[in-house]
Amino acid sequence: MEYYNYIKALHLIFVITWFAGLFYIPRLFIYQIEAYDKEEPEKGILTRQLKLMAKRLWFIITWPSAILASTFAFILLLMIPEWLQQPWMHVKLGFVVLLYAYHFKCHLIFKELQNDVVKWTSNQMRLWNEGSTLILFSVIFLVIVRDAINWIYGVTGIFILAIMLMLGIRIYKRIRAKNPDA
């Protein structure tokens, strides 16, 4: 147990960098999708640069962070196996599975865009971008309040957050329609 705080700190650091990658990669996807609508040579220059940026972010930061965050999480669970008996941990692990599903879907989108296959609109990608935000909010509140959470309020709060995020995206879309440089 003398290393508990070090392992926990490393777990949190890599969770933060993992989420940083998951927050930024959809933004790069949005820019890539929008670059395909540009005229040459701007289109070619932008797509090459954005592909390179996405590749570096994905393979140098996001994937290693996901693996290291999970590795340190497994070590913590080995150090404190009683956590696996607690209901909040079951819910948290469910969110981790959901986060990995989100991560793998981002990986598929990454591979498509690297091969110049565009299946999403920039607005669809903006909505997709909020998935990791909802997971992050859910996990942080769950871990901090644990058993004290009132699930009705918690679920309602997540839905309100999702609605606010979607409204924000719609407002941004309207602003952008009026001013394309916004």
Annotated binding residues, written as ranges, equal: 11, 92
Nearest to 16 by CA among 81, 69, 92: 69
Question: Measured between alpha carbons, how far is residue 125 from residues 14, 129, 159 in Å?
Answer: 25, 6, 19
Contacting residues for 32 by C-beta, under 8 A, at least 6 apart: 46, 47, 50, 51, 54, 113, 118
CA angle 60–64–70, rounded 5-degree value: 165
Known binding positions for heme: 11, 92
Both structure tokens of 74: 């497994």
The candidate with the shortest Cα–Cα distance to 166, out of 140, 129, 139, 141, is: 129
**What is the spatial distance between Cα 23 and Cα 75, in angstroms, rounded to a whole number?**
26
Which tokens sit at 149? 């959470």
Collapse the DSSP code of 103 into the 3-class scheme (helix H, G, I; strand E, B; otherwise coil) and give the result. helix
